[in-house]
């Protein structure tokens, strides 16, 4: 399409869910390509889907997206609000129609939504229920969006966590301590696994492999006995769980949902809390450290990397990826392709139907080669080697 043909086209862009490095460079890629190659008008929607419902927008152009390639966070702001269940003046309301009406008022050809699993679902909902044309880009440090080989933000987070593990190594060695380092990943272990391997963690615990504390203790004792290593680094994903917890969780999942309790048994979010509100709970890392200290009689410490993992400048790989995803998105829009997620498949940026992605999560497959490589260099994955092999090749 020539610039003349697309002159009247206008796209809305929003960022939703937890922020991550690379969002601004994606916004830059979209905006610059849309204006330069297709002369489109680009409107930024503030604070995720809430901004669409409340009609809060800013124009995006060369000026406003200049100098943001290296900047972390999102210049549009973000939220975890869902159009179909939004806190509005103390009440939870379905605001789907308001979102659609505002998109129509702006005459958006399409709303481009940058986000993780929740965003894919919300965007798909706006299309299915409200008839809005949408497009999504896969973002999250968790790398758990279905349908894409990788999400942007992941590479940067892996780098941050790996550097942290490197630093923890020197102090753990000096003091002969176990250091349990907790990284993000409440449903999946991609980040813990990648950073744990890259940082040479001795133990890696991920949600996909419920761990047995005895197996970890035996491993650590053997490490001391056979190799004389009294320090160890244990890298845990925040959502990892013991085998007993996994069994209990599976059993009571339905009941917990019914009586609105969180997994710690505490009361659910108070009325009026924003969507995504989570209660502060005892971290898994603290529990693991306490158990390991008691059972190995080795002093233990905990480091929770928290939101440090999501802050700061994107890596070169994420800058490259987001620029490619953003510019590919515009090319697809110009060609009239809607209601897809721009995914990464075998190194290429390609459209995948949003309906195939929404509501799905990409877990680490137990037979994934990262798990196999970790095992082959002697890393403990929370179970014995025999148990792991049995899980990998049942
Ligand atoms: O969804 C991405 C993520 O970074 C998770 O890994 C983490 O559990 C969660 O966000 C934390 O969210 P919040 O910033 O809302 O506490």
In-domain check, residue 91: yes
Q: Which of 81, 109, 142, 202 is catalytic?
A: 142
Quick: pLDDT tens for 212-263. 999 999 999 999 999 999 999 999 999 999 999 999 888 877 666 555 544 4
In-domain check, residue 3: no
Task: Judge if 195 and 270 occupy the same domain.
Answer: yes
| pLDDT, position 252 | 75
CA–CA distance, 301 with 181 (Å, rounded to integer): 9
In-domain check, residue 297: yes
In-domain check, residue 4: no
Task: Judge if 220 and 274 occupy the same domain.
Answer: yes
| pLDDT, position 275 | 65
| pLDDT, position 251 | 83
Nearest to 83 by CA among 49, 56, 108: 49
Task: Judge if 231 and 255 occupy the same domain.
Answer: yes
Q: Is 151 in the pocket of ligand 1 (CB under 6 A)?
A: no
Task: Judge if 237 and 192 occupy the same domain.
Answer: yes
In-domain check, residue 1: no
DSSP string, 165-182: HHHHHHHHHHHT-EEEEE
H or E stretch including 196?
Answer: helix 190-199
117, 144 Cβ separation under 8 angstroms: yes
Q: Is 310 in the pocket of ligand 1 (CB under 6 A)?
A: yes
Task: Judge if 326 and 372 occupy the same domain.
Answer: no
Residues of the chain scoring pLDDT < 70: 1-7, 254-281
Q: Is 140 in the pocket of ligand 1 (CB under 6 A)?
A: yes
237: containing domain: 156-310+365-392
| pLDDT, position 8 | 75
Task: Judge if 252 and 378 occupy the same domain.
Answer: yes
Q: Is 276 in the pocket of ligand 1 (CB under 6 A)?
A: yes
| pLDDT, position 269 | 66
Q: Is 300 in the pocket of ligand 1 (CB under 6 A)?
A: no
Read off the pTM: 0.92
Overall number of domains in the chain: 2
| pLDDT, position 80 | 97
Q: Please report, for the domain that includes residue 219, its CATH number.
A: 3.40.50.460
Closest approach atom of ligand 1 to CA 116? 1
| Closest CA to ligand 1's atom 15 | 18
In-domain check, residue 64: yes
Task: Judge if 98 and 35 occupy the same domain.
Answer: yes
With b for 16 or more beta-carbon neighbours within 10 A and e for fewer, the 220-240 pattern comes to beebeeeeeebbbbbbbbbbb
Q: Is 144 a catalytic residue?
A: no
Ligand 1 pocket mutation, candidates 78, 142, 194, criterion most atoms within 8 A of CB: 142
| pLDDT, position 261 | 46
Tell me how far CA of residue 196 lies from CA of 10, 152, 312, in angstroms: 44, 19, 21
- What the block records as the tokens of 373 is 């490589």
Distance 39 CA to ligand 1 centre (A): 36
| pLDDT, position 56 | 98
Quick: pLDDT tens for 178-190. 999 999 999 999 9
| Closest CA to ligand 1's atom 8 | 186
H or E stretch including 385?
Answer: helix 385-392
Q: Please report, for the domain that includes residue 324, its CATH number.
A: 3.40.50.450
């Amino acid at each position: 399409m020539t610039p003349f043909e697309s002159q009247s086209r206008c796209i809305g862009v929003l960022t939703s869910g937890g922020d991550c490095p690379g969002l601004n460079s994606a916004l830059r890629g979209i905006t610059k390509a849309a204006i330069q190659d297709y002369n489109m008008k680009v409107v930024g929607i503030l604070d995720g889907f809430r901004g669409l419902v409340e009609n809060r927008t800013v124009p995006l152009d060369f000026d406003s997206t200049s100098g943001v390639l290296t900047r972390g966070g999102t210049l549009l702001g973000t939220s975890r609000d869902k159009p179909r269940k939004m806190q509005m003046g103390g009440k939870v309301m379905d605001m789907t129609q308001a979102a659609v009406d505002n998109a129509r008022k702006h005459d958006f050809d399409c709303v481009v939504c940058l986000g993780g699993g929740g965003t894919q679902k919300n965007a798909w909902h706006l299309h299915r229920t409200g008839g809005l044309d949408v497009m999504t880009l896969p973002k999250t440090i968790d790398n758990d969006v279905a349908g894409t080989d990788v999400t942007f933000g992941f590479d940067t987070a892996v780098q941050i966590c790996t550097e942290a593990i490197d630093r923890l190594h020197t102090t753990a060695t000096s003091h002969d301590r176990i250091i349990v380092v907790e990284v993000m990943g409440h449903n999946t272990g991609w980040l813990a696994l990648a950073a744990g391997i890259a940082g040479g963690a001795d133990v890696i615990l991920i949600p996909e492999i419920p761990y047995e504390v005895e197996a970890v203790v035996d491993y650590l004792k053997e490490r001391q006995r056979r190799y004389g290593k009294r320090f160890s680094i244990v890298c845990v994903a925040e959502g990892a769980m013991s085998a007993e917890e996994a069994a209990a969780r599976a059993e009571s999942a339905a009941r917990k949902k019914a009586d609105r309790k969180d997994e710690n048994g505490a009361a659910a979010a108070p009325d009026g809390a924003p969507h995504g509100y989570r209660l502060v709970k005892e971290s898994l890392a603290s529990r693991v450290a306490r158990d390991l200290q008691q059972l190995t009689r080795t002093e233990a410490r905990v480091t929770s990397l928290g939101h440090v993992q999501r802050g700061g400048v994107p890596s070169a790989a994420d800058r490259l990826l987001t620029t490619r995803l953003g510019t590919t998105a515009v090319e697809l829009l110009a060609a009239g392709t809607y209601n897809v997620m721009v995914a990464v498949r075998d190194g290429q940026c390609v459209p995948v139907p949003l309906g195939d992605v929404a509501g799905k999560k990409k877990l680490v497959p137990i037979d994934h080669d990262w798990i196999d490589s970790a095992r082959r260099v002697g890393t403990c994955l929370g179970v014995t080697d025999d148990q792991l092999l049995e899980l990998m090749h049942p």
